[in-house]
Structure 1
Amino acid sequence: MPFKSPFADVDIPDVSLYDFLFAGLADDELGRPAVYDSLSGTETTYGDLRARIDAFAGALAARGVQPGDVVALHCPNTTAFVIAFHGILRAGATATTINSLYTAPEIANQLRDSGAIRYVTVSPLLPGALAGCAEVGIEADKVTVLDGAEGHESLMDLLSEGHAAPDVTIDPATHLAVLPYSSGTTGKAKGVMLTHRNLVANVLQSMSAIAEQPDDVVLAVLPFFHIYGMNVIMSVTLRVRAKLVTMPRFDLDEFLRLIHEQRISFLYIAPPMAVALAKHPAVDAIDTSSVRAVLSGAAPLDEALGEAVKARLGCGMLQGYGMTELSPVSHALPLDRGDLSIGSVGLAVANVEFKVMDTGTGEEIVAVPGGRTAPGELWIKGPGVMVGYLGNEEATNETIDADGYLHTGDIVEVGPEGEVYVVDRLKELIKYKGYQVPPAELEAVLLTHPAIADAAVVPHPDEDAGEVPHAFVVLQPGASLTAEEVMAFTAEKVAPHKKVRVVDFIPVIPKSASGKILRKDLKGKTAADFA
């Protein structure tokens, strides 16, 4: 029998994400602070935010953007991101969010795959954006630079036109709201098709366990281009009418300053930030008494580390689990369940059921009264499950079965209260500071080097980052190459979080009879093991 959520099912309204978040704003909510932009020091109320979203949507419609079109958004966490993102959706278009760290070739790949027709970015990211756009034929006049750049329309240009939001009709259950890119359980990044209903449902599901309150002040440093930042931090906070404080990137001193000055009460973090909160001496120099809850996601959090953060800040410490393909939350540790281990990712959120499957026998693993189950792969079913991967029916069918269960690729055990513990990964993704790094992508880059005959990439444990890419390299006969040269070569071609940080040279890459790389035979090894 599948495991069920302990929370009552929630009713999911048949509305767009915009209507769900903004259509019901009450008169006494219009003046509430919605977003504080730490970069500019400006604060925007809910009423002004909605008006600017409407104006941005109207400006896009005036430029020919229609339901079904895809618009790329490439921007760090700012108020402008919130306006542009929701403006794209309000216009009936689909937003494909691009990692702020992407290189021009990575940008071009996403634009090409998503079919984006327009591009929205900021001036510091413009050179890479223009290069990526040029490669796929998006003209410079289709590139909006939110903070302004010569030859490009800015956010203020679009808002000042005063266009009303267009009258669009969409089916929330089928219309794609966003196309974030994920590597799934393995392989190269794929467009994850998420509808308005997926996002609305997951906000409500998340709220069943994540108890944000209207008087909370929420620090948003995890990127909005990632589904965790997008639909948990941004959308949940806006739905409960709390205040969002945006940070364009993580800097510990600025992070701590904002906690103190803005009286942050709710922190969403990834495990590397937990390390800083638990260990860095700078934390002792600030007043953290306003913080009532910290929620860690994006990668597993060690129980001892979670307990150390909880003790140091004197707050509730939570953990959650999700995937881009789940919109993203499936499990979270409720604040009022102090009896559950911080080392678990918590309980299934509302409207979720899940199975744990033995990877050897294919049989369903059942609950153990008073104890933890045997480990198995986590399969999840619920309204947050994606429509599928864009243009990739094979990968979709490999991930979602005929009964609607999404196969996560994570190995878990289930405790006596239904709490879930992530114990390993069946999938081969590397998680660097919460970012996904697909080994196959780095292997393809390595093989373009003329001195490299073969290569494999696996995760390497790292205290600060969680995991870093570890490359095993086979050189061409007579070739000479150093580890530093290998790392420099890949660093020029990929985003910083994907950089190879450990290199070993070995005589041959272990492979199966069918030619598949046996990464399990490389994990935890060095060149000395193959001598």
Structure 2
Amino acid sequence: MSATRLRAQPLPDLRPQPRRSPAHAAFRSARDLLQRLRTRPDAARREFAWPRPTHFNWALEWFDVVAAEEPRPALELVHPGGRVESVSYRELSARSDRLATWLRGLGVRRGERVMVVLGQQVELWETLLACLKLGAVVIPTYTSLTEAEARDRFERGGVRHLVVRSRDVDRFAAVDAAVRVAVGGPVPGWHDHADARRTPGAFTPDAATPAGDVAFGYFTSGTTSAPKLVLHTHASYPVGHLSSLYFHGLLPGDRHLNVSAPGWAKHSWSSFFVPFTAQATLVVAADEGLGPEGLPGLLAEREVTSVCAPPSYWAAVVPHLGTAVPRLREATSAGEPLPDPVADAVAAAWGVTVRDGYGQTETTALIGTTPGTPRTPGWLGRPLPGWDLVLDEGHLCVDLTGAPVGMMAGYDDPEHTRRVLGGDRYRTGDVAEAGPDGLLRVLGRDDDVFKSGGHRVSPYELEAVLRTHPAVRDAAVVPVPHAGLGRAAHAVVEPEPGRPAVTAEELLAHVDARVGAAVRVHSVEFTDRLPRTVSGKVRRAALAR
């Protein structure tokens, strides 16, 4: 649908507001500046200012506008066997228009919450765009959730409508949704998503979208406590993710692949707002998924220029680095610190630096090593444009006095929101350390970092040392009771398959040679697999004693 046609259609009850709006222009100007200064972080921090529109609908006023002028694909879904499903920006815009019109006809209204349980399939991106266009609040959820999790997320999320893969609908039998949409074939009692394809005409919004209206809800990963529902607005996510765009370093025409699964906030970073704001093509391994052994070949075959994966995935790719040599310009990692041996292996095999970044579900990207900046082992990087960070007795905090646009609206709990956002600082819950030239590193969650004999112990640092042993694939460090120290560091180690077995004594000696006695690991146990969240983070709470 063209911007010209939309300019001729004023929004009901408001002054005419074309989609190529002042908000679009401000957003484009900020994006262009960050792309122009992508290798000049000091200048980017100095010159960047958050756009602050009063009304903004990124799907209507950004995506649809660039779709009318962008000839390249928005999506390339690669199916098993190599079949590629290519969807242009213009086609995705039209499909989401039809879906938005159809959903509104079924009774989905502005401000109502829609839980989306879809895999890596075109319908996922259609649905995200359609919900944004409607002004409905989209709550993406991972497809592997259990029936109990489905009921919990539905009830605690205040969900009213469902969009679910047909094969997963049985998990929602116990919930009472107003509109139920099944994707992937007809299901009795559910509307068939395919019917939306037959809906004629362009979507016309019923009103302009206030930028402060809630647009997205994401549950946190729940590594140390029950997942919380985080709410983001039509400004805090699309505008806020300009910092994430700067971290990733994407440019128009890039071909980007992100391995994060739908249902986690990192998916909306790297598989939605960042590539489409950059006018890049998102390359996706379709719903059947992509194992680490297949990543090098896919990157090379599809001529991917940028890839993002969590540290655990990068570590699993290392044994397969020699199977293909992709021509990457950018490679990024986020979630937890990337082990130095993994970064070194990728650099040696592919000639690209894997850059670390850091953010939270509650924010957009906060810290990162940006394009063209040398990686400093052990350090995440510096604060990204638009964000001011401070350390308060070792606790990493966001300075709220400048009202950073990428900050969440709050949790789905007003009292908790007041406690967290009511002052001039947002406490991230992470313990961090500042280094030379403004570098920052995260030592662990408040709940993970502990005292041993009066000394602060960082699980992240000990885990990084353990991973330098060739027989260690991964490790997690947790505190255990100790008669003399109160608590002591205990390592749970996942051995590297195919390597000679290593003993606990050998690993203790390996760590002792590299850290001070006050923060040493005191005991080791082995496991076939560390417990992880669906997003790949180690669930240390499951290991604690």
TM-score normalised by the shorter chain: which range applies? 0.7 to 0.9
CA distance in 2, matches of 1:21, 1:144: 27
For residue 387 of structure 1, the aligned residue among 404, 409, 412 is: 409
Contact 2:239–2:406 (CA under 8 A) maintained in structure 1: yes
Paired residue secondary structure (1:305): helix
Question: Does the alignment pair 1:261 with 2:305?
Answer: no
User: 2:329 aligns to what?
Assistant: 292
Question: Structure 1's 256 and 495: CA in aligned 2 closer, same or farther, altered over 3 A?
Answer: closer
For residue 37 of structure 1, the aligned residue among 69, 73, 77 is: 77
User: 2:191 aligns to what?
Assistant: 153
Residue 171 of structure 1: how far off its partner (Å): 4.3
For residue 349 of structure 1, the aligned residue among 364, 384, 389 is: 384
For residue 83 of structure 1, the aligned residue among 126, 140, 147 is: 126
Post-superposition CA distance 1:430-482 (Å, at most 9, x none): 999xxxxxx9xxxxxxxxxxxxxxxxxx99655589xxxxxxxxxxxxxxxxx
- Map 1:76-475; keep pairs closer than 5 Å: 76-128=119-171, 132=172, 134-138=173-177, 142-151=179-188, 152-182=190-220, 186-247=224-285, 248=287, 249-278=289-318, 280=319, 282-288=320-326, 290-326=327-363, 328-338=364-374, 340-358=375-393, 375-381=394-400, 382-390=404-412, 392-403=413-424, 405-428=425-448, 461-462=492-493
Letter in structure 2 aligned against 1:244? L
Aligned residues, how many? Answer: 425
Contact 1:4–1:348 (CA under 8 A) maintained in structure 2: no
CA distance in 2, matches of 1:171, 1:296: 33
Residue 301 of structure 1: how far off its partner (Å): 1.6
CA distance in 2, matches of 1:376, 1:191: 23
Residue 244 of structure 1: how far off its partner (Å): 0.5
Question: Structure 1's 427 and 18: CA in aligned 2 closer, same or farther, altered over 3 A?
Answer: farther
Letter in structure 2 aligned against 1:149? P
Residue 428 of structure 1: how far off its partner (Å): 5.0
Post-superposition CA distance 1:276-302 (Å, at most 9, x none): 233x1x3212132x2222100122222
CA distance in 1, matches of 2:84, 2:339: 35
Question: Structure 1's 17 and 395: CA in aligned 2 closer, same or farther, altered over 3 A?
Answer: same
For residue 19 of structure 1, the aligned residue among 60, 63, 82 is: 60
Letter in structure 2 aligned against 1:37? L
Residue 204 of structure 1: how far off its partner (Å): 1.6
Letter in structure 1 aligned against 2:381? G
Residue 354 of structure 1: how far off its partner (Å): 1.1
Letter in structure 2 aligned against 1:188? A
Question: Structure 1's 215 and 5: CA in aligned 2 closer, same or farther, altered over 3 A?
Answer: closer
Contact 1:59–1:163 (CA under 8 A) maintained in structure 2: no
Q: Which moved more, 1:413-422 or 1:163-172?
A: 163-172
Contact 2:99–2:199 (CA under 8 A) maintained in structure 1: no
| TM-score (structure 1 length as normaliser) | 0.73
CA distance in 2, matches of 1:110, 1:503: 21
CA distance in 2, matches of 1:95, 1:211: 27
Contact 1:319–1:333 (CA under 8 A) maintained in structure 2: yes
Contact 1:10–1:204 (CA under 8 A) maintained in structure 2: no
Paired residue secondary structure (1:209): helix
Contact 2:218–2:263 (CA under 8 A) maintained in structure 1: yes
Contact 2:75–2:87 (CA under 8 A) maintained in structure 1: yes
Residue 28 of structure 1: how far off its partner (Å): 3.9
Identity among equivalent pairs (%): 21
Paired residue secondary structure (1:331): strand
Paired residue secondary structure (2:123): helix
Paired residue secondary structure (2:235): helix
Residue 245 of structure 1: how far off its partner (Å): 1.1
Paired residue secondary structure (1:324): coil
Question: Structure 1's 276 and 173: CA in aligned 2 closer, same or farther, altered over 3 A?
Answer: same
Post-superposition CA distance 1:10-57 (Å, at most 9, x none): 34152122135313226541x311101123621000100101111111
Paired residue secondary structure (2:362): helix
Letter in structure 2 aligned against 1:333? T
Post-superposition CA distance 1:244-300 (Å, at most 9, x none): 01123341233233212211111110001111233x1x3212132x22221001222
Q: Which moved more, 1:185-194 or 1:259-268?
A: 185-194
Letter in structure 2 aligned against 1:220? N
Question: Structure 1's 126 and 459: CA in aligned 2 closer, same or farther, altered over 3 A?
Answer: farther
CA distance in 2, matches of 1:107, 1:428: 28
User: 1:60 aligns to what?
Assistant: 103
CA distance in 1, matches of 2:155, 2:387: 34
Contact 1:70–1:96 (CA under 8 A) maintained in structure 2: yes
RMSD: 3.3
Residue 159 of structure 1: how far off its partner (Å): 1.9
For structure 1, list consecutive stretches of 5 or more residues without a partner in the other structure.
359-374, 433-438, 440-457, 466-486, 505-518, 523-531
Post-superposition CA distance 1:321-347 (Å, at most 9, x none): 000001x21112111111x41432222
